[in-house]
Amino acid sequence: MAFSILRNIRALIFPPRHLNCRRSLWLETSSLLRERGRGHRESGGFLLGRRVDGLRTIEAFLPYDDVDPHALQGAILFDGSKMDVVWDLCRREGLEVVADVHTHPGRGVGQSQTDRDNPMIPEVGHVAIIVPNFADRTYLPGEIGIYEYRGRRQWTDRSDDAGRYFAVRRFV
Alpha-carbon distance 112 to 101, whole Å? 14
| Core vs surface per residue 70-100: b (16+ CB within 10 A) or e | ebbeeebebeeeebeebeebbeeeebbbbbb
- Sequential pLDDT tens for the chain (172 residues): 566 776 565 555 556 789 999 999 999 999 999 999 999 999 999 999 999 999 999 999 999 999 999 999 999 999 999 999 999 999 999 999 999 999 999 999 999 999 999 999 999 999 999 999 999 999 999 999 999 999 999 999 999 998 899 999 987 6
Question: How much is the pLDDT for 163?
Answer: 86
Pairing of strands 127-131, 44-52: unpaired
Question: How much is the pLDDT for 61?
Answer: 98
Specify the pTM: 0.92
Domains of the chain: 17-169 (3.40.140.10)
Alpha-carbon distance 102 to 77, whole Å? 12
Question: How much is the pLDDT for 17?
Answer: 85
